[in-house]
Amino acid sequence: MTAIRVAVVDDHPVFRLGMVALLSTLDGIEVVAEASSSAEATAQVTADVDVVLMDLELGDRSGVETTRDLVSRFPALRVLMVTMHEDDESIVASMRAGARGYLVKGAVPDEVERAIRAVANGELLLGAAVAERALGFMAASRSLAPTVFPELTDREREVLDLVAGGHDTATISRRLILSPKTVRNHISNILAKLGVPDRAAAIVRAREAGLG
């Protein structure tokens, strides 16, 4: 039987080393890569990896953004988010980025093993209540009709909706699980595409269109 090849990505060395030690004791699971940052994950994770245990918050970039990039490069890759956060927004952002499971730090060894084997087998690892909330949240997010500012991407419309709602960059960063730099880049792109000089003007345009 071929072992499940796992990469552990977490910027907390104690947790990362502890997880590697745990996985090393499990039959049929082999740790083939470790990373403490998004940059290291991008370099270390290859097509040979089956499952990535991904921390939601990395020092240099969010785990959601890193997941999106890795899944784009390796569509067969299974990502299992490992985090302290259980809020709907974190769960939905992870799912939309391509994660196949969501594991809360503090899970017992048996739960970790089951989660890895489940996502490696192609299953989506979400509890019933979490899945129901997440699907509802995703359905609500689709209510931003693409006919509103069709020149914007879906993500840019989400950012603009939050800007129009009066949220600052830090709040948007937390809500969408994006780095502040990425949020600022989205806002710059929005201003350019809408042809407005500043954030205030963008808010006016967005609210006139029913956003916020």
Dump the DSSP string for 105-120: TT--HHHHHHHHHHHH
Q: Who contacts 135 (Cβ-Cβ below 8 Å, separation ≥6)?
A: none
Tens of pLDDT along 21-50?
999 999 999 999 999 999 999 999 999 999
Q: Span 4-137: which CATH code?
A: 3.40.50.2300
Where does the pLDDT of residue 76 fall: very low under 50, low under 70, confident under 90, or very high at 90 and above? very high
Confirm whether pTM is higher than 0.85.
Answer: no
CATH class of 144-208: mainly alpha
For residues 41 and 199, what is the distance between their CA atoms, to the nearest angstrom?
34
Portion of the chain with pLDDT greater than 90, in percent: 41
The neighbour count for residue 17, using CB atoms within 10 Å, is 13
Question: What is the crossing angle of helices 154-164 and 199-208, to 10°?
Answer: 100
Q: Do domains 4-137 and 144-208 have the same CATH topology?
A: no
181/139: higher pLDDT: 181
- Scanning the structure block, which residue is given the tokens 């792109």? 189
Residues 6+ apart with CB under 8 A from 123: 100, 101
- Residue with structure tokens 């989506």? 124
Q: Find out whether 57 and 12 touch, Cβ atoms under 8 Å.
A: no
Question: CB of 163 within 8 A of CB of 206?
Answer: yes
For the beta carbon of residue 151, count every other beta carbon within 10 angstroms.
11
Q: E strands along 84-190, which residues?
A: 101-104
The full set of domain ranges for the chain reads 4-137, 144-208
Note the residue count of the chain.
212
Q: Where residue 128 falls among pLDDT bands split at 50, 70, 90?
A: very low
